[in-house]
Amino acid sequence: MEATQAPRTVGRLAQWAAASADGPARDGGYFDAYAAVGLLAVVGVLFVTVAFTANRLMRPVVPTPEKLLAYECGVDPVGEGWAQTHIRYYVYAFLYVIFAVDAIYLFPWATVFAAPGYGAGTLVEMFVFIGFLAVGLLYAWKKGVLAWT
């Protein structure tokens, strides 16, 4: 029931927002259209505040040491809650970025490079770009970054 109601509510909200955006905008207040967004934020904050306050007022409070433990899937927690990631992973993050950027530019290129009007020049340009990235990889490799220590 809730699932079917939610879209309808959103739809009504959007209608109302559109209506309210239409009105004030004509009066010259461009940013008045954002009143709906502000109202939504206020409603959200109120909802969370009311829910948590009601929860606190209505629940019984009987603490025991077991209850105060961090909850870890029902098993007793092992060790500290503080875990560190090894600093050497940052290199892999950098290398990942190289390939991610590579892919971002390759996708749109791949959709057009065969289209009429592009031709060999486009092909060469992309390989020049990949060549730049390859230099980065070459640098990392020669500096011994790729070997696991």
- Tokens standing for 95? 């290398």
User: Tokens 């077991």 map to which residue?
Assistant: 66
By C-beta, is 13 or 102 nearer to another protein? 102
Nearest to another protein of 23, 44 (CB atom): 23
Query: Which residues make Cβ contacts (< 8 Å) with residue 23, sequence separation at least 6?
Result: none
Closest separation between CB of residue 142 and another protein, Å?
A: 4
Residues contributing to the site for another protein (CB under 8 A): 25, 28, 30, 116-119, 121-122, 132, 135, 138-139, 142-143
At closest approach, how far in Å is the CB of 141 from another protein?
9
Nearer to another protein, 44 or 119 (CB): 119
Q: Provide, rounded to whole angstroms, the least separation between the CB of residue 13 and another protein.
A: 24
| Opening angle at CA 138, ends 132 and 143, nearest 5 | 135
**Can you tell me the distance from the alpha carbon of 133 to that of 136, in angstroms, rounded to the nearest whole number?**
5
